[in-house]
Amino acid sequence: MNKRTIGATLAGALLVTGLAGGAVAVAGGDQEGSAPGPDADRAVAAALAETGGGEANAVERDSENGAVWEVEVTKADGSTVDVRLDGDLHVIVVEPDVEDAGGH
């Protein structure tokens, strides 16, 4: 994907988030694995674009399934999913969050 396409995708994701009233809350710096900063913000935008909006509860570096990022998103219907992204912010997998599915 070229830079123009990535930029347009991210801009669209931010627009959708604003229109849907979704709030982005990136995990605080004191949590293990939390990743603040512009790269984390881009990962959140890509995850919200994939889920059609919602609220990002946490974003962290990840190494499962070849992922670089994991973003936990609570969708508009109240369900929570983990969105795993590669280094180019392409979605690898979207899976139900284990805690949300009752697997404390």
Q: Which domain holds residue 54?
A: 3-96
Q: Is residue 103 part of a domain?
A: no
pLDDT of residue 30: 34
**Tens digit of each residue's pLDDT (9 = 90 or more) over 27-43:** 333 344 467 789 999 99
Least confident of 6-15, 30-39, 69-78: 6-15
Instruction: Provide DSSP, 15-36.
Output: HHHHHHT--B-PPPTTSTTB--
Q: Tell me phi and psi for residue 75, to 5 degrees.
A: -80, 170
Q: Is residue 102 part of a domain?
A: no
Q: How confident is the model at residue 21 (pLDDT cuts 50, 70, 90)?
A: very low
Q: What is the CATH number of the domain that holds 68?
A: 3.30.505.20
State the total domains in the chain: 1
Residues comprising the chain, all counted: 104
Provide the 3-class DSSP secondary structure of residue 49. helix
pLDDT of residue 16: 47
